[in-house]
């Protein structure tokens, strides 16, 4: 068989990345996050000192814990059964507006937000750990070389703060002033104000297009785009139509010897194969490895897993 027909020979620049799927990345939780139970269209989770009940259309099976445990929850979000639908929080007793939690060196604040969110997506822990391992390995290989990370649609900043603790220089982009405020609050809460993070409130696609014009590059790119969104000046983000152009620009922003690019997609009617193929097309000249699948959360005391999103992750090394 000719050399270039064997899989390993594709792992070089100038050839498409090796494609691997399905890859299921699991999070079992940590002190401040556990999936306690799920069933009958809802999930019961522990976020720091509070237990919460939220709608979960994928939890179609039976509950394992007793009704008493579910009834003791501190807060229940009720609303549309459709993912990301509007609704409201109902509280069992007196709960504070915000509460503090921790993941490794980073502290972050929970808050009861609209659309059932509480300020953190715990399944992302699988990406946080992997990103930090990549950065640490690179720092060991070339201690003096700065590692520049771009985090798009960065929300409350965990995926910016954690890489910065591993020694990266981070540029964080989000369209919402409020979200940037929460992210900076998390930085202060963590006592990490000295870390080199640029917090920028801007439309992701616009920022990226400008960086392309400036000729800037990054060693790692993380993007967690919503299905629909708006830039600060009303710019429209629609994952299906905006993502291909954004990825094309991001390929230009990836340094020649870049470490990684990670794309996560929530609540879209699609398969991880679709985002895998789009990433493969985007990175078709780079070699390396492209793995795609879903992000899962494993129950605390059960054997069941809950899928939360699709991902596609490229590694240049």
Ligand X SMILES: C[S@@+](CC[C@H](N)C(=O)[O-])C[C@H]1O[C@@H](n2cnc3c(N)ncnc32)[C@H](O)[C@@H]1O
Of the two residues 34 and 127, which places its CB atom closer to ligand X in the complex?
127
Nearest-approach distance from CB 73 to ligand X, in angstroms:
22
Three-state secondary-structure class, residue 135? helix
Q: Give the number of other CB atoms < 10 A from CB of residue 11.
A: 14
Rounded to whole angstroms, the maximal C-alpha distance in the chain is: 70
Nearest-approach distance from CB 22 to ligand X, in angstroms:
20
Nearest-approach distance from CB 229 to ligand X, in angstroms:
2
Q: DSSP string of 35-77?
A: EEEEETTEEEEEETTEEEEEE-TT--S---S-HHHHHT-SEEE
Nearest-approach distance from CB 309 to ligand X, in angstroms:
7
Of the two residues 12 and 230, which places its CB atom closer to ligand X in the complex?
230
Of the two residues 29 and 287, which places its CB atom closer to ligand X in the complex?
29
Of the two residues 174 and 219, which places its CB atom closer to ligand X in the complex?
174
Nearest-approach distance from CB 120 to ligand X, in angstroms:
10
| CB proximity list for 284: less than 8 A, separation 6 or greater | 16, 17
Q: Which parts of 117-157 fold into alpha helices (H)?
A: 125-141
Of the two residues 88 and 230, which places its CB atom closer to ligand X in the complex?
230
Nearest-approach distance from CB 178 to ligand X, in angstroms:
8
Strand partners, 50: 47
Of the two residues 61 and 85, which places its CB atom closer to ligand X in the complex?
85
Residues that bind ligand X (CB under 6 A): 121, 153, 155, 173-176, 179, 203-204, 224, 226, 229-231, 235, 237, 266-267
Nearest-approach distance from CB 310 to ligand X, in angstroms:
11
User: How far is residue 125's CA from residue 30's CA, in Å, rounded to a whole number?
Assistant: 10
Please report the beta strands in 80-205, taking only residues with DSSP state E, as ranges in sequence order. Answer: 87-91, 98-103, 106-111, 148-152, 169-174, 197-201
Nearest-approach distance from CB 236 to ligand X, in angstroms:
8
Nearest-approach distance from CB 244 to ligand X, in angstroms:
15
User: Using an 8 Å Cβ cutoff, are 150 and 121 in contact?
Assistant: no
Residue closest to ligand X (Cβ) = 229
User: How far is residue 41's CA from residue 108's CA, in Å, rounded to a whole number?
Assistant: 28
User: How far is residue 133's CA from residue 64's CA, in Å, rounded to a whole number?
Assistant: 35
Of the two residues 17 and 154, which places its CB atom closer to ligand X in the complex?
154
Strand partners, 270: none
User: How far is residue 70's CA from residue 299's CA, in Å, rounded to a whole number?
Assistant: 15
Of the two residues 63 and 206, which places its CB atom closer to ligand X in the complex?
206
Sheet bearing 75-79, strands edge to edge: 33-39, 42-47, 50-55, 75-79, 87-91
Of the two residues 150 and 287, which places its CB atom closer to ligand X in the complex?
150
């Amino acid at each position: 068989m000719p050399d270039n027909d064997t899989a390993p020979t594709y792992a070089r620049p100038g050839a498409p990345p090796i494609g691997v799927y399905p890859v299921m990345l699991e999070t079992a939780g940590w002190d401040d996050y556990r999936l306690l139970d799920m069933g009958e269209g809802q999930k019961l989770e522990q976020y720091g000192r509070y237990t919460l009940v939220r709608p979960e259309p994928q939890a179609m099976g039976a509950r394992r814990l007793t009704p008493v445990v579910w009834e003791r929850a501190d807060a229940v979000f009720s609303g549309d059964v459709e993912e990301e639908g509007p609704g409201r929080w109902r509280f069992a007793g007196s709960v504070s507006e915000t509460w503090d939690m921790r993941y490794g060196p980073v502290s972050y604040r929970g808050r009861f937000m609209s659309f059932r969110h509480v300020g953190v997506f715990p399944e992302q822990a699988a990406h946080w750990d992997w990103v930090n391992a990549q950065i640490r390995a690179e720092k060991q290989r070339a201690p003096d070389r700065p590692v520049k990370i771009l985090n798009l649609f960065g929300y409350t900043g965990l995926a910016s703060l954690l890489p910065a603790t591993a020694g990266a220089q981070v540029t964080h982009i989000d369209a919402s002033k409020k979200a940037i405020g929460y992210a900076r609050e998390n930085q202060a809460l963590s006592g990490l104000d000295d870390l080199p993070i640029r917090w920028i409130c801007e439309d992701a696609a616009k920022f990226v297009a400008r960086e392309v014009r400036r000729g800037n590059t990054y060693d790692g790119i993380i993007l967690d785009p919503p299905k629909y969104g708006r830039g600060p000046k009303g710019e429209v983000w629609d994952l299906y139509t905006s993502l291909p152009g954004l990825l094309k620009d991001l390929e230009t922003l990836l340094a020649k010897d870049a470490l990684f690019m990670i794309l996560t997609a929530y609540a879209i009617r699609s398969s991880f194969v679709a985002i895998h193929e789009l990433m493969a097309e985007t990175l078709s000249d780079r070699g390396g490895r492209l793995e795609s699948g879903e992000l899962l959360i494993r129950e605390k005391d059960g054997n069941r897993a809950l899928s939360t999103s699709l991902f596609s992750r490229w590694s240049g090394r």
